[in-house]
Amino acid sequence: MNEDSYERTIDVVTIGTKRKWTAANWQARSPTGRQYVWGSNSLTDQSTRQAVPRGFRFLQVAAFVVAALYQVNANAQTASTVKTAKPLIESIVDWDEYTGRFEAVQSVVIQARVSGYLEGIHFKEGDLVKKGDLLFEIDRRPFEAAVARAKAQLDAARAREDLAEIEVKRAEELLRRDVGPESEAQRRRAEFQEALANVALAEAELVTARLDLEFTRIVAPIAGRISATVVDVGNLVIGGPSGATVMANIVTVDPIEFVFTVSEADFLRYARLSRSGERPSSREQQNPVSVQLMDEDDWTREGSMTFVDNQIDPNSGTLEGRATLPNGDLLLQPGLFGRLRLPGSRRYQAILIPDSAIVADQSRLIAYVVDDSDVVQERAVTIGPIHRGLRVVRHGLEVNDRIVISGVQRARPGELVKAIDSEILLDGTE
């Protein structure tokens, strides 16, 4: 067998690259770690520098070829399939979310203004009432008697006024004729002035008595939903400016306010955005808001900012804000929890990718991109909020990057992959 008879060409295709190995210059390493060199007519064990017997040459060469092909095939199998897509570009506004409670725009505690026995309740507990509706009645009879007494006292005061007026005129006439003393005329004038004052006092007492009589009928000061009654018919209620009996309360239901707090950091960010003209202050403009209840997925309830407090609470380091929303369906109740979103930026062009395409790598977040050679590269990214099912990426990605959106777990930086192009939709699907 001559030298040319050992010349063999082995073509191996591995990941798109063709290599040629010939028996004249082929080297290999056996599974045991020994390195062999195929020369023109012999196979040499490099570890012992001894020639391998000619009878084993064919078997050795065959084993080396099979091992090489196995390794090449294994390398070929590592070319994983991934799905890629370019990021979606959308004009959006960043929304900041806050948790808060609904509160009534107006809330009134119903208390007795006069003392007496409760005679009647004229509403259904928990019902909606209108302004001016009769709610409670207190026994009127003592107050009707007080009004009658005040009227009588007023009549008596007016009679004394008339008499005093007559007396003062007579005294002045006698003084003018030099018949009566001047001291008598002065006394009559003082009595007349006292009579006038007594009339005014009697008139005021009559007004007070009539008011007390009116206060026996307790009417709704505002429209809204009334609570349960605290006292029942037949109980003695105490009125007055202090210690008055609480009988019920009324809260307005439409519109309704949502009360929440923001941190100092958010307040400073809003203030700087306002100064730069990127976002108007909620103190100067009624910025739009959306509210979501705990069992809702969409932000369908819309309102506007109506109040920002004038100081930060030093205990909590937060600033209170209020938004007002319509409540025509009367679903929203004072005390109900909810979430509010408030515009936190101007409108801008954002890069959006599926949240599943972002991987946490210890203290940083990364996304995998595939270059023109189908080699995986990693990019450190800075993320923003979720927008319509997609994650906003603030830094780290470019518009034309091919992002790995499926098969992320099979992607390894620096490895070749088989990339299948796809598209990203706004609901987060591919």
Q: Which two tokens stand for residue 361?
A: 């790598």
Tell me if 203 sits within 8 A of 210, measured CB to CB.
Answer: no
Closest CA to 87 of 409, 365, 430, 407: 430
Q: Does 246 lie in the same domain as 286?
A: no
Q: Does 302 lie in the same domain as 330?
A: yes
DSSP secondary structure string, 180-202? S-HHHHHHHHHHHHHHHHHHHHH
CA distance 177 to 102: 82
CA distance 174 to 170: 6
CA distance 107 to 251: 4
> In which order are the strands placed within the sheet that holds 27-29?
27-29, 35-38, 43-45, 50-52
- Give pLDDT, residue 380: 93
Question: Is the pTM value of this prediction over 0.75?
Answer: no
Cα torsion 378, 369, 406, 17: sign: negative
Q: Does 246 lie in the same domain as 151?
A: yes
- Give pLDDT, residue 346: 85
- Residue 306 sits in a domain whose CATH number is 2.40.30.170
- Give pLDDT, residue 301: 93
| Domain-ending residue, one of 251, 276, 295 | 251
User: Is 283 a member of any domain?
Assistant: yes
Q: Does 61 lie in the same domain as 23?
A: yes
DSSP secondary structure string, 115-174? -EEEEEE-S-TT-EE-TT-EEEEE--HHHHHHHHHHHHHHHHHHHHHHHHHHHHHHHHHH
**AA letter at 109:** V
User: Is 201 a member of any domain?
Assistant: yes
Q: Does 166 lie in the same domain as 62?
A: no
Cα torsion 396, 402, 403, 407: sign: negative
Across 171-204, b (16+ Cβ under 10 Å) vs e yields beebbeeeebeeebbeebeebbeebbebbeebee
Q: Does 335 lie in the same domain as 370?
A: no
Across 82-112, b (16+ Cβ under 10 Å) vs e yields bbbbbbbeeebebbeebebebbbbeebebbb
User: Is 427 a member of any domain?
Assistant: no
Q: Which two tokens stand for residue 206?
A: 């009559």
- Give pLDDT, residue 169: 87
Q: Does 114 lie in the same domain as 246?
A: yes
Burial of residue 250, with CB atoms counted within 10 A of its CB: 0-12 exposed, 13-18 middle, 19 or more buried: buried
| Domain-ending residue, one of 293, 312, 343 | 343
- Give pLDDT, residue 72: 46
User: Is 101 a member of any domain?
Assistant: no
What's the structural domain count of the chain?
4
- Give pLDDT, residue 77: 52
User: Is 162 a member of any domain?
Assistant: yes
Task: Write out the residue range of the structural domain in which residue 328 sits.
Answer: 256-343
- Give pLDDT, residue 312: 95
Q: Does 134 lie in the same domain as 202?
A: yes
pLDDT by residue for the chain (430 residues), tens only, comes to 444 433 333 333 333 333 334 443 444 444 444 444 444 444 444 444 444 454 445 555 555 555 555 554 555 455 789 999 999 999 988 889 999 999 999 999 999 999 999 999 999 999 999 999 999 999 999 999 999 999 999 999 999 999 988 888 888 888 888 877 888 888 888 988 999 999 999 999 999 999 999 999 999 999 999 999 999 999 999 998 888 999 999 999 999 999 999 999 999 999 999 998 888 899 999 999 999 999 998 898 999 999 999 999 999 999 999 999 999 999 999 999 999 999 988 888 999 999 999 998 888 999 999 999 999 999 999 998 888 889 999 999 999 999 999 988 888 899 999 999 999 887 655 5
Q: Does 325 lie in the same domain as 205?
A: no
Q: How many CB atoms lie within 10 A of CB 14?
A: 16
Q: Does 171 lie in the same domain as 117?
A: yes
User: Is 429 a member of any domain?
Assistant: no
Q: Does 218 lie in the same domain as 134?
A: yes
CA angle 329, 332, 333 (to 5 degrees): 125
CA distance 202 to 155: 8
Tell me if 365 sits within 8 A of 403, measured CB to CB.
Answer: no
In the block, residue with structure tokens 């997925």: 297
- Residue 85 sits in a domain whose CATH number is 2.40.420.20
- Residue 134 sits in a domain whose CATH number is 2.40.50.100
| Domain-ending residue, one of 219, 251, 283 | 251
Q: Does 193 lie in the same domain as 289?
A: no
User: Is 96 a member of any domain?
Assistant: no
User: Is 428 a member of any domain?
Assistant: no
